[in-house]
Copies of this chain bind each other. A is one copy, B any other.
Amino acid sequence: MIVQRQNGVALWRQIADRIRSSIASGDYDRDGRVPPELTLAAQFGVNRHTVRSALAALAEEGIVRAVQGRGTMIERKERLNFPISRRTRFTQGIGDQAREKEGLLLAAAEEEASVDIAGRLAVPVGSPVIRMETLRRADRRPVSRAASWFPAGRFGGMAEAYERTGSITAAFAALGLTDYVRAVTEVSAIHADAQDLADLRQSPGAIVLVTRAVNCDLEGVPVQYSVTRFPADLVQFTIEN
* Interface positions of A (Cβ within 8 A of B): 2-4, 6-10, 12-14, 16-17, 21, 57, 81, 84-86, 181-191, 193-195, 197, 203-205, 207, 209, 232, 236-241
Whether the Cβ atoms of B237 and A184 lie closer than 8 Å is: no
The answer for the CA separation of A193 and B3 in the assembled complex, in Å, is: 7
Interface-centre pick from A12, A183, A190 (highest chain B CB count, 10 A): A190
Number of copies: 2
Using Cβ atoms and an 8 Å threshold, which residues of chain B touch A21? 190
Using Cβ atoms and an 8 Å threshold, which residues of chain B touch A188? 209, 232, 236-237
Q: Which residue of B lies closest to A237 (CB)?
A: B187
Interface-centre pick from A8, A86, A191, A193 (highest chain B CB count, 10 A): A8
Beyond the given pairs A9-B205, A84-B239, A188-B237, 6 more chain A to chain B contacts, judged by CB atoms under 8 angstroms and listed by A's residue number, are A7-B204, A17-B191, A85-B241, A184-B239, A188-B232, A189-B207
* Shortest Cβ gap from A183 to chain B (Å): 6
Whether the Cβ atoms of B239 and A205 lie closer than 8 Å is: no
Q: Please judge, given known A-B contacts A9-B10, A86-B241, whether A193 and B232 are in contact too, CB under 8 Å.
A: no
* Shortest Cβ gap from A76 to chain B (Å): 19
Q: Which residue of B lies closest to A17 (CB)?
A: B191
Q: Which residue of B lies closest to A7 (CB)?
A: B204
The answer for the CA separation of A239 and B214 in the assembled complex, in Å, is: 11
* Shortest Cβ gap from A199 to chain B (Å): 13
Whether the Cβ atoms of B240 and A184 lie closer than 8 Å is: yes
Using Cβ atoms and an 8 Å threshold, which residues of chain B touch A8? 9-10, 12-14, 16, 57, 204-205
The answer for the CA separation of A116 and B126 in the assembled complex, in Å, is: 51
Using Cβ atoms and an 8 Å threshold, which residues of chain B touch A239? 84, 184-187, 239
Whether the Cβ atoms of A183 and B16 lie closer than 8 Å is: no
Using Cβ atoms and an 8 Å threshold, which residues of chain B touch A189? 189, 207, 209, 232
Q: Which residue of B lies closest to A196 (CB)?
A: B4
